[in-house]
Amino acid sequence: MIHTIEESRLFRIANPRSMAFFGASNSIKAMGTNLLMSVKSLGYEGALYPVHLREEEVLGYKAYKSVLDLPEIPDLAVIVLPTKVVNNTLEECGKKGIRQAIVVSGGFREVGGEGIVLEKELVRIADKYGIRILGPNCIGVANPSFKLNTTFVPHEGPGGYIGLASQSGSFVTQMFNYLYRYDLGFSTAFSVGNEAVIDLVECMEYLGACPQTKVIALYIEGIKNGRAFIETARSIVPHKPIVAFYIGGSEAGRKAGFSHTGSMAGPDRIYDGVFEQCGIIRARSVTELFDFCWVLGGLPRPKGKKVVIQTHSGGPGAAAADACGRVGLELPDLSRETVEKLAAFVPHTGSVSNPVDLTFSKNPDDFYGSIPQLLIKEKETDTLLVYFLTSPKIVERALTQMGIQEEAIDDLSRQWMEKHCQSVAGILEKYGKPVVGFTFMSLKDRSIKGLLSRGIPVFPDPDRAARAIAAMVEYSNYLSRI
């Protein structure tokens, strides 16, 4: 158990002041070149030393023939070389005095046979010099606030509060843009690869101590050291939620995972038991993994499982009620006091039971102000779930019809939506209860983006919203049991 990230063996891997880079050249065909380009494009501020036998300069950085020639001992070596030369390179790094390495190269244990021998040798060299290795067969680290991204894919967005430790590199890199679209991002994300030296548990421990990480995501094909996993998770979960997506439980998942990282998976129910013991929330898909992180990292904890639904439309309201019911959430009746107060805002065709269905708004401002405020103050409400559907097209049509000049419409529509998003965000902040949204609009629509950027999770589907709320309730229940 560590208390600060500086105590972790990963600290100078995720926060290196200087790097030696092996395998980058000026040819885009080399994997290493792509990785160095990602480092460069995020604006890494430390010293960069490409090591290359023939090049004088690599991507504008002075290159060195040998790591032994470098003018200082870098904090980190990033190795993206053909398998057969990795171990010699690591030996030289050790001689130079480098004590941290990311080995991106594959062809080790995961391919079996000779690969297993090569990996043993790699570990022997690491032990000999005391080198802390992430990988091999990994994609490295993304730590956006430190401007570090050693992966193949250029980083997008400003980073965020989700810490990730992943047995797949793709769930680091291919999530940059995915999370960005939800206005989310990684605090720090580790691709652990074959875990020859540093394993998933150490990454989890680092993220547990990381002040920017509000929730930890794990992608697991198989856990190697069950006891350490459980102990570490149990020490973290009381103060920081952990969500895990485990794919080894189905036969197809197990076989695919084995061919991917050589992980030995166990039956689903064993993992279920492990997760339950530790209070880890289990996700059943990548989508759920980050959905759950979104609400667990971004919202206050719900007190219980009672959800009040606010909608403009009967069908989506009923579908949301059904989705909540199916995952064990409850839809309480509203108190008489709230019902009476609501009456002023709800047309006679609407409903003041739960879901509260306006059918249409007497005054659109109420939908984003007085109504959610009344509903969140309701004592029966643990979580407020709101259906958002105000399409900019309809707002613009209305403004046109009201005789507003064309050139003013875009500004007015923007102001109108900003005001509404701000109003919902204010309600979330003031009352300390979770507010979750869902919509069938594009998340790029202005009215939805405005909510996302203010920390209101809006799911593109009531089912995803319901499952995310259920994940929050599960975590609250765990906290109240311990």
Residue 259 makes contact with its own copies by CB under 8 A? yes
Which of 54, 239, 444, 481 binds its own copies (CB under 8 A)? It is: 444
Q: Tell me which of 3, 28, 336, 482 binds its own copies, using CB under 8 A.
A: 28
**According to CB under 8 A, which one of 8, 15, 18, 33 is a site residue for its own copies?**
33
Looking at beta carbons only, is 119 or 221 nearer to its own copies? 221
Q: Of the two residues 28 and 482, which places its CB atom closer to its own copies in the complex?
A: 28
Query: How far apart, in Å, are the Cα atoms of 75 and each of 10, 14, 46, 59, 120?
Result: 11, 10, 10, 21, 24
Residue where the block lists tokens 């430390």: 46
Task: Determine if 423 is a binding residue for its own copies (CB under 8 A).
Answer: no
191: amino acid identity, one letter: S
Q: Which of residues 157-216 bind its own copies (CB under 8 A)?
A: 166-171, 174-175, 177-178, 181
Q: Does residue 31 belong to the site contacting its own copies (CB under 8 A)?
A: yes
Q: How far is the CB of 406 from its own copies (least distance, A)?
A: 16
Would you state the torsion angle of the CA atoms of residues 457, 463, 469, 473, taken in this order, to the nearest 10 degrees?
Answer: -160
Contact residue for its own copies among 124, 255, 379, 419 (CB under 8 A): 255
Who's near 65: CB < 8 A, 6+ residues apart? 51, 52, 53
Binding residues for its own copies restricted to 270-299, rule: CB under 8 A: 284-287
Stretch that binds its own copies, among 72-80, 203-211, 312-320, 429-437 (CB under 8 A): 312-320
Question: For residues 99 and 312, which CB has a smaller minimum distance to its own copies in the complex?
Answer: 312
| Tokens encoding 84 | 């057969």
Close Cβ partners of 300 (under 8 Å, ≥ 6 residues apart): 432, 433, 434
Give least dist CB 98 to its own copies, A.
25
Total of residues contacting its own copies (CB under 8 A): 88
Tokens describing residue 199: 């394993």
CA angle, residues 109, 67, 138, in degrees to nearest 5: 30
The three-state secondary structure class of 101 is strand
Site mask for its own copies (CB under 8 A), range 381-420, x = bound: --------x-x-xx--xx--xx------------------
Our finding on whether 261 is near its own copies (CB under 8 A) is yes
**221 lies in the site for its own copies, by CB under 8 A:** yes
Of 69, 315, 430, 480, the residue at the interface with its own copies (CB under 8 A) is 315
Which of 135, 317, 372, 457 touches its own copies by CB under 8 A?
317
In the complex with its own copies, which residue's Cβ is closer, 153 or 428?
153
Contact 211, 145 (CB under 8 A): no
Does position 100 interact with its own copies (CB under 8 A)? The reply is: no
Name beta bridge partners: 61.
58
For 200-265, give the DSSP string: HHHHHHHHHH-TT-SEEEEEES--S-HHHHHHHHHHHTTTS-EEEEE-TTSHHHHHHHHHHH----
What is the nearest approach in angstroms of its own copies to the Cβ of residue 464? Answer: 8
Query: To the nearest whole angstrom, how small is the minimum distance from the Cβ of residue 434 to its own copies?
Result: 18
Q: Any idea how long the chain is?
A: 482
Nearest distance from C-beta of residue 12 to its own copies, angstroms: 26
53: helix, coil or strand?
coil
Site string for its own copies, 110-129 (x = CB under 8 A): xx------------------
Burial (CB < 10 A; 0-12, 13-18, 19+), residue 220, is buried
Instruction: Please name the amino acid found at residue 327.
Output: V
Please report which helix (H) or strand (E) contains residue 478, including its range.
helix 462-481
Round to whole Å and give the CA distance between 229 and 105. Answer: 26
Q: Which is nearer to its own copies, 300 or 314 (CB)?
A: 314
Residue 306 pairs with which residues in a beta bridge?
A: 330
Q: Toward its own copies, which CB reaches closer, 16 or 350? A: 350
Which residue, 132 or 467, is less far from its own copies as judged by CB?
467
The residue (of 248 and 279) whose beta carbon lies closer to its own copies is 248
Cα distances from 295 to residues 252, 289, 459, in angstroms, run: 30, 11, 10
Supply the minimum distance, in Å, between the C-beta of residue 437 and its own copies: 14
Q: Which of residues 43-82 bind its own copies (CB under 8 A)?
A: none
